[in-house]
Every structure is written in structure tokens, then in C-alpha cells.
Amino acid sequence: MHFEKHKVRSFEPKDPDWEAKARESFARQGAMGLIGATLAELRPGYCEIHVPWRADLSQQHGYFHAGIISTAVDTAGGYAGFTLMPPNTSVLSVEFKLNLLSPGDGELLIATGEVIKPGKTLVIARGEAYVVKGEKVTHCSTMQQTLMTMHGKSET
């Protein structure tokens, strides 16, 4: 399966435990468990989440519901940003704009998030979503997002 990935910038994480911290946080997300999402790839400034299609995640035409797509893309962007945040911090989405480009008609939803600009308090990320149906991969949404680093609020 092939889908276009943007060239991800190379970032140096501020927390030596960035990966364990992000994976443990993802595992505690009830919403990700509810929709059956898995953390497929994680590296500094980048996150990829997979969601297999289920009827209860669809809208009336059988496509992935826009709310499910936006939930997965928001989360992918959030964890991309979280990988670059210092110790004793947490992440919170404060804004995102999602454009739906085509119906989420597929067997698998792939949501990616990547950091565009890491800041001390605000992090700007982009997200993309793709649906896979057989051998066909369709770009179904794009997002721009602002994240807030919550200083002094550890994830654990």
C-alpha cells in the first residue's frame, strides 16, 4: 500500500522518554480504544494511526464518518506534537481546521500527523487522512492544527 507522505522534518525531542510517554498516553485514550485505533508509527514530530472500518464507525452511506476521520487526524497531530514536548508536560488541541476532500470509502483509515513548527507553548501541526480500499488509496482529508503544551501537567 502506498500513500503520499510529506517530507517530515527532522526534530530532536526534548524528553529522552518521548516514545514511552507518547505510547503510554495513547494507550490510556478511551476514544482511540473505542474506535479500534492503533498507533502504527511514531517518531519525533510524526505520528500515524490506523483505524479498520467497522459499520458502527460509518455514516449513512457506509463511509467512515467525518467525526471518526477528524478524531483520528486530530489525535495523530496531537501525538506528533507531544513527541517534541519537554518532560512534565501534556498536550491539548486548541484548534484545528479539517477539509474533507473525498468520502471516507475504504477498509482502513490512515491518519497522519506531523509538526510544522514546534514552539514553547504553541505547536503547529498538519494532518492527513487516507482510506484504503483494495489496492486503491484515496486522500480523504487534510488538517491544520494548533496544539498547546501544558507545562507543569504531566501525563502520568
Residue 8 lies in a domain: no
Residue 130 lies in a domain: yes
pLDDT at 5: 59
Residue 9 lies in a domain: no
19 neighbors 46 (Cβ within 8 angstroms) = no
The predicted model gives 12-28 an average pLDDT of: 96
Residue 12 lies in a domain: no
Residue type, 28: R
Residue 2 lies in a domain: no
Mean pLDDT estimate for the chain: 94
**Other beta carbons within 10 Å of 136:** 10
Residue 140 lies in a domain: yes
Q: Which domain holds residue 65?
A: 18-151
Number of domains in the chain: 1
106 neighbors 64 (Cβ within 8 angstroms) = yes
Provide the CATH number for the domain around residue 45.
Answer: 3.10.129.10
Angle in degrees, 0-180, between the axes of helices 18-27 and 66-82, rounded to the nearest 10: 150
Give 20's contacts (C-beta < 8 A, 6+ positions apart).
none
Q: Please tell me whether residue 137 adopts helix, strand or coil conformation.
A: strand
Predicted model pTM:
0.93
pLDDT at 10: 86
